[in-house]
A and B are shown apart, each in its own frame.
Chain A
Amino acid sequence: MFKDLDPILHSQLRLAVMSLLISVKEAEFTFIKEKTNATAGNLSVQVQKLKEAGYIDVVKEFKDNYPNTTCKITKKGIKAFEEYVNTLQQYLNVKK
């Protein structure tokens, strides 16, 4: 019996954000926006959902007198991402 894919992660933009954050220690909102080609509004909503799930930490501060948002994956987020990839691999192995 397969586990269901985590619905928080099984969304294109949220998965894209998590995949970026798993590769770096932390990233600014503008960097994530640039790499995902998402709109600021859509990205804000998805980042908020990831934050509410406890998968990422969001820090808002000032950098050179401008507001700056930094995102960082949490331990819970890393675990969820690993589980998601494992489940994905199980699905793909069966389909082979």
Chain B
Amino acid sequence: MSDIGPEMPEDDALAAEHALGVLTARERAAAELRMAREPDFAAKVEAWRERLAPLAEGVAPVAAPAGLWPRIVRSLPANDNQVGVLRRMKFWRGATMGSLSLAVASLAMVAVLATRPPQVISPVPAPMMNARLMTNGGQPLFLAAYDPERKSVLVASLVPPGTDPNHSHELWLIPADGKPRSLGLVEPGASKSMPISDEMAAMATEGASMAVTVEPAGGSLLDGPSGPVAAVGKLARI
């Protein structure tokens, strides 16, 4: 190459490459994790997505098949938007003890629970449930399943092995009370089974949230999460 021009700073180049879509699966996952951890880097990627977005206008529309909308409707979970969970996670990252806002949130939750029909205890085994934990960009990074009979959570990390060795990924269960409970650490690329206590098992109900945060190596030193949320999902019946 003869036209030696100016070089982009490495961060800018990586952000641009991620937005353009030329990175490998491993590099993409690493970039998504970095976006969760570093708002400045996330802003760079977003700015590049915005710059390149008009190119999508050049793609010819193709009518989606008629059967697809009914299929989507069938797959929609009950309204389970995640804003509440993220707010609660942020709250717990800053606070170690209850506060007025938590009390308010709990009261709101009690009100929600009170309107539900009472749970009938039956001898029929509870159903298996799973959760897909996604980034803000909608990329799944972790898959989790809860087996009520064995009282264990199976989790698989879709993050390529060896990614970001200086941090740990910690899995949390966030039941109706909004307080995240640690289920343990998940190594990039690994899948494992995590036995959980009876107390936690009672909290692993349909609609409970699960999240993974990026923590210092070895996990959060606080009672709750201390690092940014990498991915969030909800338990649903399989």
Do A and B interact? Answer: no
User: Which residues from chain A sit less than 8 Å from chain B, CB to CB?
Assistant: none
User: Which residues from chain B sit less than 8 Å from chain A, CB to CB?
Assistant: none
